[in-house]
Amino acid sequence: MSLKSKRLGTLADIYQSENLDGTIRTIKLDRIEPSEHQPRQERKKGIDELAASLKADGLLQPIVVSKGRGDGNYKIIAGERRFHAAKSLGWLEIECKILDRPQNEIYKLAIIENLQRENLSPYEEVEALVFLKSAHNYTDADLGDMFGKSRSYMSEVLSIAGMEKKDLDRCRSLDIQNKNLLVQAAQASKKGALSDFLDLYSKGQLKTVRDAKDFNKQSTEKPIESQRKLPSHYKLKRSGNSIIIQSEDEILLGEILKFIRKEISKKFGDSAIT
């Protein structure tokens, strides 16, 4: 059995082991609302394809809901995409399984259901796990037990959430969708080498997780450029709003210029360099 199959099997077991017995009812769509804690960010991705499937085959599995605020209102636990697809087809009602569960368990079920179906991006998965951990005071070991993973694995995955937002945004813009590669990006970020990491990735020189691990190993063995001390044989002079760096060593001046450009780019972005 492949690792992927083991992962899905474990999550399926978790989801099925939950007491999901509930009342099956047909509920009007205007009485149902999505959960504000839905882990998927792109909620309506792939709705057209799903709508076509619903039109051809009907609803094969009820969506799962819990009682919402007010009499007769419900919130979705699992099946939001089916809900949106049904609305796009003009359906007025949909078959639902109504669960009577405490609110603090609703999000846990939504995450497990979505992870089981593997339709969350790695960014959404990490964000969901962070919320689950904080909302229930779980440890990394608790999450590992829940999802059939080791504590160290969960700690590595959650390290992605420790990256600065601008760094995560750049990873997204480069379309890094491999979770293990993102873990290595987080490691590079801790070493202060993320800019070089992403530059190599964007140039196609860092393609695999093995490449990323080798990069991080080299970054550990070599001093980070931004932490190197500049040589002392140069002079600084202020002139108005400018700072003049003087040295007879042209190589040194080139290194200083490269260093300054890199630091400006890291802090303010490439557009700040003229």
pLDDT in tens, 43-81: 566 788 889 999 999 998 898 888 877 677 898 888 888
Would the pTM of this model clear 0.75, i.e. be above it? no
What pLDDT digit, counting tens, does each position of 179-205 carry? 899 999 999 998 889 999 999 999 998
Gap between the Cα atoms of 195 and 183, Å rounded: 15
Q: How many other CB atoms sit within 10 Å of the CB of residue 132?
A: 21
Instruction: Return the amino acid letter for 175.
Output: D
Parallel/antiparallel/unpaired status of strands 74-78 and 32-33: parallel
**The Cα angle at residue 245 between residues 240 and 247, in degrees rounded to 5:** 145
Question: For residue 13, what are its two tokens?
Answer: 């077991």
Per-residue 3-state assignment (H helix, E strand, C coil) for 80-94: HHHHHHHHHCCCCEE
**Interacting residues of 112 by C-beta distance below 8 A, sequence separation 6+:** 11, 14, 15, 18, 146
pLDDT per residue of the chain (274 residues) written in tens, 0 to 9: 333 333 333 444 444 434 456 789 999 999 998 876 655 555 566 788 889 999 999 998 898 888 877 677 898 888 888 999 999 999 999 999 888 777 667 767 766 666 655 567 888 888 878 887 887 788 888 888 877 788 888 898 899 988 988 999 999 999 998 989 999 999 999 888 999 999 999 999 898 999 999 998 887 655 444 444 444 566 777 776 777 777 776 776 777 777 787 777 766 666 656 5
Q: At what angle do helices 250-268 and 194-202 cross, to 10 degrees?
A: 90
190: Cα separation from own chain's centroid: 17
